[in-house]
Chains A and B, each alone.
Chain A
Amino acid sequence: MTLTVAFMVGWLTACGVYLLLRARTLPVILGLVLLSHAANLVLFLGGGVPAEVRPPLVGSGEGPMADPLPQALVLTAVVISFAMTAFVLILALRNRRSLKSDHVDGERRES
């Protein structure tokens, strides 16, 4: 179980990093998105891999409940990374115009 989840995280990280190292803005941003999924999962797993637990809604039934703190933190992180993605995406558009290219270093050649 834990191995499966760990694999998920690792795989997402690998894909994300690979895209992060590309030369064009959009793939890099996509890589960032993948990485943020991975990071959120890691943070989420701070509460452990709850095989059989209930959501942390008090009084909604019997049985152990999941650790709510990581969930709250991830929730915060999700919104923040959304804001960041939006910003950098727009910046990429700006650069495409002011640098005449969507290359991450804005080389003066239109792709």
Chain B
Amino acid sequence: MASTPLILLPLLGLLGALLPAIGGRSPHVSARLAAAVVLAGLVMAGLQAPAVMGGEVLVERWTWLPAAGLDLSLRLDGLGLLFTLLIQGIGLLIVLYAHYYLPSSAPQRRFYALFLLFTGAMQGVVLAENLLVLVVFWELTSISSFLLIGYWTLDPSARQSARLALAVTGAGGLSLLGGVILLGEVAGGYDLTTVLASGDAVRADPLYPWILGLVLGGVFTKSAQFPFHFWLPRAMAAPTPVSAFLHSATMVKAGVFLLARLFPVLAGTQAWFLSVTTVGMVTLVAAAFLALFKHDLKGLLAYSTVSHLGLITMLFGMGTPASAVAGVFHIANHAVFKASLFMAAGIIEHESGSRDMRQLNGLIKRMPHTAVLAMVAAGAMAGVPLLNGFLSKEMFFSETLQPGMGGTWQTILPVAATLSGVFAVAYSLRFIHDVFFNGEPVGLPREPHEPPRWMKVPVELLVALCLLVGVVPAWTVEPFLSAAAEAVVPGRVPHFDLALWHGFTLALFMSLVAMVGGVTLYGVRRFLFRLHDRYLPEPAVLKWFTEVELGLWRVARRVLGAWENGSLQRYMALLVAAAVALAGGAFLTSGGRLAGGGGEWPDLATLLLALVVALAGAATVVQQRQRIQALLWVGVVGLTVSLTFVRFAAPDLALTMLAVEVVSVILLLLALYFLPQSSPPESTPWHRGRDALLAGVAGVTVGGLVWAAQGTPATGIGRDYLARTVAETGGANAVNTILVDYRAFDTLGEITVLGIAALGVFAMLRGFALPPARELRGRRWDPDAHPLILATLSRPLLPLATLVSLYLLLRGHNAPGGGFVAGLVMGVALILQYLASGSRWVRGRLQVRYRVLLALGLGLAAVSGMVPWLWGGAFLESAHGEWHPRLLGDIHWNTTLVFDIGVYLTVIASVTLILAELGRLGQKRIGRQRPYGSTAPETGGKGA
């Protein structure tokens, strides 16, 4: 019957989660849908059961991410089957129960959706064959339980408890992930089949301690073992059906399930025994003790759950096959009676409106039926004979007595076990006596009475199961148990008989002690409570948690604020320092020597240029606070640098640079008109010293690198152009041919940058006005008065400049010149008009929409590149040749001219657009300007 694929089991839940979410609004529909889904899962598991109990292990795989060894592979063996039945079976009852428990006002669709999601995830955990898949589903349970615990979203404690649970179990999940990766690395694969087979290798591996530690990190957090137990009692903020599910059959059982899973691989070492047993023992005793003092019904059950998980952990820790079997057995038993107890508690709360045992008394008269059920279940929890709890507890006791644990353990374990038994009896007794007897109720919100018939059915079924297993274990649970045992201790399944009566054994005696001790302890509870309240008050975990959250936030803010303090100066310093450190460090560590070679002495011109640059640069720095001077000094530097280019045989460069310098200076001057004329002294001498140091180091680094580089032979591919340019491009000016032929793409990008810059400036300044700097207001540097001489001189300049620029443009390919220079010259001439005669005057006469011109220029450059496509050429391919018309003599034509014209136009448009916009700033009345980015309907703004 292994026909139905296993993958359906988890998928049912995961996809089923969508059903209620989409299925109609009515809670009944979603409840029925959920029930149907879970039932289907149960049936499916049932169909598989015979094969599995026949000793078969069903495995199936789908490839997912082979590179990571992550196959979506599942296995169904005895252990998986047992858990599957628990999950689906109890899940079904929970759905039924929740349908009556949840108030109609509650968002039920969300509940059932999340519930199914969680069921699917849990199902995946117990079916995983590939350990990474197990981790996947493991984390899914954490996430979905987070959403379930926080179900009552408006209740702060619910939200906080959910976050707490997620933080703890999520951290555990990450630890588990690490452990699993290491385990897979050592075992040579993530499939359980592989891993289980290589137990010895794993235990012998030096990584074993790491693996064990990380895996246990996952187990202990999930199963709420000390010291990670604190999240579980808080998770009681969840709706009771959720608690009944998460803390009986699922969630917290995932941890101990993993212990069982990896038992054959990890168990049997000293490290395992010490860590697992000790943690389990501490949890077992401490939690059992604390449970006694919880006034909240669910609180008591929560601590009891923690304690029972400790018991199971301890059983696995002892590492013998028999103890492992006992552990599995107790997992099942605990699931059954704890689920019924939670439901009973839920019923009581539902009908009486309270969970406080100081209010709840004498309910036996008011809800006798429920009372009986609860008492039987509580008996199972206490380990009363004829109930399932008794059997596994008996096994537990006898296991603690096994020889071979070594000296002190021989005594510690039994004592601890008995002690926990005592407490268990005591708190179970309290659960019974305090709630159902012990006088009359105290101030209950409403008069309690029996719940609706069907709300009790789940409890009845579970309690019946407790009895059946307790009385006739051999006919009920044994086959399942032995199948599971085969999976946990393959081949070494010990003989165990689940008889009630083993004769007068020491274990039986321990049980008796527990009973008697428990009753007496409960007898003297008043005294104990007083002690407890004085010395062991309930820790305010949630308060601490929220304080931790807040504290973390505060600290993080302070640290981050100190690092990212929003100071550009610091950021710049960081950038420079990082660059210098990286570059300088690399240079020195890889044995670079500062040997600049080049012995020949500098000629006078070079020296002079260097000197001027040095002085002007220094002057800029010294006078940086008197801005107008500083600005002029910068101009001097630019001028000198362009002269340097002349000196070193770069006429094109020098020409362009000169033009750029002129424009830049005009730009800076215009800008300065709107900025303070001087910088206030702000930086302390220490600051200045530090900056000077950094600047010095940077200078030395760059200079040094340049010098060192000059020592090496110059092997640039650039010289090849000289040999080829005329033949290939018909241009004699190599620089220009590189710009418009060989590397025209750079040029295209570059004019794009220029265009975007202009566009950005336009976007920033359109409809924006600035008052001139305070120092200048009312001064004769007023935008509207234009010196007559300049005006008259500048106007004839325009046509002249036009001619010059066209000349430069046309000759560019063969002699210094080209699109940039030409465009810049033209731009400067235009700007001069603005400066001389005011932009109103110019705009009156010069009807150019610069943005259109810009688009034209860029477009022309781009399109000229596409033209070659017509004859199947490459983008930006150029053609050239001679043309001999009459009269005109011979003309050398070249298609790149079109491209260069595009450049020309773009440059003109951009430069003029930027400067004109800037020039207009001062002329707007402040009233008229709109802040940038005001949601104006028109985005284009008015064309210039």
Contact = CB atoms under 8 A, between A and B. Distances in A.
Contacts of B668: 29-30, 89
A57 B733 contact: yes
B617 A75 contact: no
A16 B698 CA distance: 10
A4 B606 contact: yes
Given A33-B664, A59-B732, A50 B722 contact: no
A22 B573 CA distance: 10
B776 interface: no
B759 to A, nearest CB: 10
A89 B702 contact: no
B714 A90 contact: no
B855 interface: no
A44 B702 contact: no
Interface stretch (B57-65, B675-683, B844-852, B873-881): B675-683
A15 B613 CA distance: 11
Contacts of A73: 746
B627 interface: yes
Contacts of A14: 695-696, 698-700
Contacts of B768: 94, 97
A68 B696 CA distance: 32
Interface in B673-720: 674-676, 679-680, 682-683, 691-692, 694-696, 698-700, 702-704, 706-707, 709-711, 714, 716-719
A109 B881 CA distance: 64
Nearest to B714: A48
A34 B617 contact: yes
Interface string B744-771: 0011001101101110110011001010
Contact of A56 (B567, B645, B735, B751): B735
Interface stretch (B337-345, B424-432, B483-491, B633-641): B633-641
Contact of B617 (A15, A25, A41, A66): A15
B311 interface: no
Interface in A38-82: 38, 40-42, 44-51, 53-60, 65-76, 78-80, 82
Contacts of B750: 76, 79-80
Nearest to B680: A111
A93 B671 contact: yes
A73 B222 CA distance: 63
A65 B931 CA distance: 54
B617, B634, B760: most-surrounded residue (chain A CB, <10 A):
B617
B667 A86 contact: yes
A38 B675 CA distance: 26
A71 to B, nearest CB: 5
B704 A71 contact: no
Interface residues of B, number: 116
B932 interface: yes
A104 interface: yes
Given A21-B695, A58-B726, A68 B676 contact: no
Interface string A17-36: 11111111111111001100
B734 A58 contact: yes
B815 to A, nearest CB: 7
Interface string A90-111: 1111101110001011000001
Contacts of B711: 2
A46 B765 CA distance: 39
B641 A86 contact: no
B630 interface: yes
Contacts of A96: 674-675, 770
A104 B867 CA distance: 47
A54 B663 CA distance: 28
A30 B620 contact: yes
B664 A23 contact: no
A66 B717 CA distance: 12
Given A26-B679, A45-B710, 10 more contacts: A2-B596, A24-B676, A24-B680, A27-B624, A58-B726, A68-B719, A75-B820, A76-B747, A78-B657, A92-B675
17 contacts: A1-B606, A3-B598, A4-B602, A4-B607, A17-B576, A26-B679, A27-B624, A38-B702, A49-B648, A57-B733, A57-B815, A58-B733, A68-B738, A69-B716, A71-B653, A86-B667, A98-B931
Interface of A: 1-30, 33-34, 37-38, 40-42, 44-51, 53-60, 65-76, 78-80, 82-87, 89-94, 96-98, 102, 104-105, 111
